[in-house]
Amino acid sequence: MKNLILDLKEFRAYASIVRAAVQARMEYRGSFIMYLMTLIGFYAAQISVIILMLQRFKAIGGWGPGEIAFLYSLLVLAQGLVSVFFSGMLEFSPFIREGTFDRLMLRPLSPMLQILAMRFEPGGVANLILGVAGLTAANSLVHPQWTLVSSLFLVMIVLGGMMILAAVRIGVAAVAFFTVSNEGLQHLIVFSVREFLLYPVDIYTKPVRFLLTFLFPLAFINFYPAHFFLNKSTDSLFHPYFVFFTFPVGIFCMAISLRMWSFGVRHYGSTGT
């Protein structure tokens, strides 16, 4: 009972931090609206490029417009959840440089959860809205068979994709414990590699497919599970069962990234700022 009360107190503490973060974000509404407009413009530009390519080639790697839209929607849905809950990992480097992390470690709360709560991003909901809209449009084009099982599987896929993307952010953030600055690595791994998922992974060379499957398993976010929903042939995949592996891969990636984070915390030496 005592542990339960302690957990409830911790939850309330985190909730208070999240509430303060949302209030701070919404204080400058003009800036927040501009952020949302920029976000929508970014995704609109991506969609425009994909549409232009489809108009030119009719299909990309044997994937039609509806199937590409389905791929894109799975990515945006996972990205939306990550943007809401894990934006703090993108801003972790200043916590090290400015000595803020020292203060977080003195509090009787998890430093990581404090960072995530402090940088809670309500604007990430825009990603979720775009993802749902994209999925609706894709559904009208490819007509997948929705059952209770496939609907629950979709939820697991989105959660698994979120964990994979979150694990990448946590792992890159953990590097800052040793390098202080990690912005270059962040742009390379967190943002640039993700661009490969805008298109079917099987259009790339085998080394790239291997990279996106086994080293940075981002292909499990949308490419592999899409085969299940779209009833596409799995003959070109490394293994046909990979279409079911998104959630387990997400758990595995999170476990690895959290171990990296714990290792960084144990070996953390203050910058003295």
Q: pLDDT tens for residues 107-121?
A: 888 889 999 988 888
Three-state DSSP state, 60: strand
pLDDT tens digit sequence for 174-188: 988 888 777 777 777
In a domain, 92, yes or no: yes
In a domain, 84, yes or no: yes
In a domain, 216, yes or no: yes
In a domain, 271, yes or no: no
Exposure on the CB side of residue 140, measured as CA atoms within 13 A: 5
In a domain, 273, yes or no: no
Alpha-carbon Rg of the chain, whole angstroms? 20
**Domain span holding position 7:** 2-266
In a domain, 121, yes or no: yes
For 146-152, the CB contacts below 8 A with 24+ separation are: 150/228, 150/229
Domain count, the chain: 1
In a domain, 82, yes or no: yes
pTM, entire model: 0.86
- Say if residue 244's pLDDT is above 90: yes
DSSP H or E segment with residue 26: helix 2-27
